[in-house]
Chain A
Amino acid sequence: MTVTPAVSLPTRRPLFRRRRLLGWLYQGLLVVALAALAYVAIGNLQDNLAARGLKLGFDFLWREAGFEIAFHLIPYTASDNYWRVFLIGITNTLLVTVLAILFSTVLGFGVGIAQLSGNWAMSRAARIYVEIVRNLPQLLHILILYNVALRALPAPRAAVNLGDAVYLSNRGILVPALTTDRPGLLAIAILVAVIAALALFRSLTAYAERSGRSVNAWLPSLAVLVLLPALTVGLSGAQLGVSLPQLKGFNFAGGWVLVPELSALVIAMAIYNAAFIGELVRASIESVNKGQREAAAAIGFGWWQTLRFIVIPQATRVLLPPLSNQYLNILKGSSLAVAIGYPDLVGVFTGISINQTGRAIEIVTMTMAVYLAISLLIGALINLFNHMTRIVER
């Protein structure tokens, strides 16, 4: 709004200059516009639904789905209902997300540290990797992995054998599987062991800092981590075994099969997101002032001490918010699974189930709600973390 300045100041400001009034006017307009839009849209919706003989509602969730799903973590048959399909979509999406986060973090930290390498060849190679990978669409990465790289692998009979434990073939990647007759007990034991080991590690390092003594915190923590589940298995008499994949006829038996769709998706997403994580890691380490490292060297810190007590704590504070953002991108990117037929939430629920039931509004809303809930939850955790680790000025 351009207002030419008045020559003589008016005693009463004109209407369009009164900010508060104008503010209420704008907001009123927004509310009216949204209400009108909603009114028209709902009217249209009723017309459209009536014309197609549809009704809104979630009753379809209890109907039999009637289609097979190639890969599922929880039991499923074609006679299960759409609610089950929804749950399978969520677990499959979470599985891909967790695996992709795991591998892309490992690869990304490698790429980030390699970029900072004093060795010119290493840092150049990492730079080339980042510049090639992040400028290609993620979907292209996935299609190349699935349609070119995995197709080029041999059939199961001639599978690439890595130490008789891992096999690569065009039917997927086979890895050894842990078998037990008491999975629940084992899971609880491992969970307890992880928590106990973390607590022990923290209290030992805290003791070391308090007392000024050098305490080895790693060994006892690792011992707890390994011994606790081992003792549980030994005392409870649970059967524990490792099932190695073995070639039987034309295909494999035993082991855990990562179907080609899952393998391609996880590898492609790891490669793609590692480029971004590598950049974040590089930037976070570079953000630590050089003087900090020099000061550490001046008080006699060695390489590991400098890293552990000076660089990592400061870099982490810079790294974690964008890194968790990148993890959210991995969650959202996992929806590309639909392009290669991996049954993730979008593929199996938003894709197939809409085609089968025609319930576009309900299904798209449910799908978005799942992603939104996870994103907001993680966002809240990030904010909490930022709040806890902010620098307290003294």
Chain B
Amino acid sequence: MTDAATLPAGRARPSSASPNAPLGRIVSWLRRRIFASWRDAALSFAVAAVLGGIAWAIVPWALFDATWSGASRADCTGTGACWAFVTAKASQFVYGFYPPAERWRANIAFALLVVGLIWLMVPRLPGKRHAALFMMVVLPVATFLLLHGGFGGLAVVPSDQWGGLLLTMILAVSGITFSLPFGVLFALGRRSRMPLIRWFCIGFIEFCRGVPFLTVLFMAIVMLPFFLPSGTKPDPLALAVVGIIFYEAAYMAEVVRGGLQALPKGQYEAAMAIGFGYWRTMLHIILPQAVRKVVPGVVNTTISLLKNTTLVMVVGLFDLLNIVSAGVSDPLWAGSQAEGYFIVGLVFWLMSFGLSCYSRAIEAGFARAERS
């Protein structure tokens, strides 16, 4: 294996062609990066063969030999994927057991989410403060009222019928929107001069970071009801959301703390010198700079939160992964695991990869703004 990092520079051989001509440049690049030596050439071919082999196995399975429609697994007679499973169950994957007649309500909730996300994430759109307010107050309240119903002639749909992608999005979006503000509070508390507040925050953060998310979910769903007033029947979904928010808030807090520590002391002193109090210093001087520094960390935590939502299947909630797993155990479609997991993987991959691309884009934007 050749590794540029550990080799002295100078593997490149000077190309005989002129480096300015496009063809010459390509030839020189090929010589340098693909065929630098006979070992490199062999390695390149081996890698290409492996990748080609994988593509050769997956692409015909997923596209050319696949069956796209049918009423059961028996209709899938080809050697490829049985996408009929996904097309037949698509609406269940998206809405879970939400009653079909009421699914327009879920559609409105999705639309509100898309509007809020575009407003918040496209840098050119104005009114970011209102957008944040919309995401943190309007969206959760409106989504809950819409999905739950029970007023103005809307039938009540209890939360155990919510499922699929809808539930995954509820968990992820509420987790993300609330874990960041709580994380900021815990980060500030951990750096506070008041010992009791500092100890409380350290204890909370280290506790959450030291235990698996699954045990926090068990705590929220199995143990917490013992501490609530007797007679109340707490909603498992609400308990799971609370568990996610506080668990991820601890991770957010550590990310934000990194940004706070990276700011020079002069920023605090300057704010104090112009007579700012604690909260004004934090809100107007420190946090805007600190959060900018930790955008990659915040996005990484967001992605891990998104992936962690799949764990609710262990405590019996029907998120996207669980509803697809349930679909596979339908005798009509037995043996469709590969197709189901492929779709779940695709959805999660697109969301996670999209988020990390977005984070790189805003980082680049910040870097441009600093330079100009």
Question: Which A residues contact B (CB, under 8 angstroms)?
Answer: 1-3, 5, 17, 23, 26-27, 30-31, 34, 41-42, 44-45, 47-49, 51, 113-114, 116-122, 124-125, 128, 131-132, 135-140, 143-144, 147-148, 151, 285-286, 288, 290, 293-294, 296-297, 303, 306-307, 311, 331-336, 338-339, 346, 350, 354, 360-361, 364-365, 367-368, 371-372, 375-376, 379
Contact = CB atoms under 8 A, between A and B. Distances in A.
Nearest to B50: A125
Given A27-B194, A294-B8, A371 B51 contact: no
Closest 10 pairs (CB-CB, A-B): A375-B210, A135-B352, A120-B33, A332-B212, A118-B4, A137-B307, A335-B212, A41-B227, A27-B196, A116-B5
Given A311-B6, A333-B212, A365-B223, 14 more contacts: A113-B6, A118-B2, A121-B34, A121-B44, A135-B349, A135-B352, A147-B341, A290-B9, A293-B8, A303-B6, A346-B212, A361-B226, A375-B211, A376-B206
Interface stretch (B143-151, B262-270, B272-280): B272-280
B369 interface: no
Interface string B28-51: 000011101000100110011011
Given A114-B1, A136-B348, A371 B210 contact: yes
A334 B313 CA distance: 16
Contacts of B225: 48
B310 interface: yes
Contacts of B303: 135
B341 A144 contact: yes
A44 B230 contact: yes
Given A148-B337, A346-B218, A364-B218, A116 B3 contact: yes
Interface majority SS (helix, strand, loop, mixed), chain A: helix
A368 B211 contact: yes
B345 interface: yes
A93 B11 CA distance: 46
B7 interface: yes
B218 A120 contact: no
Contacts, number: 210
A23 B194 contact: yes
Contacts of B11: 118
Interface residues of B, number: 71
B240 to A, nearest CB: 15
B349 A368 contact: no
A139 B40 CA distance: 37
Interface in B219-244: 219, 222-223, 225-230
Contacts of B1: 113-114, 117, 122
A119 B43 contact: yes
B344 interface: yes
B28 to A, nearest CB: 13
A31 B197 CA distance: 9
A140 B342 CA distance: 10
B330 to A, nearest CB: 15
B38 to A, nearest CB: 12
A364 B215 CA distance: 7
Contact of A346 (B48, B50, B214, B308): B214
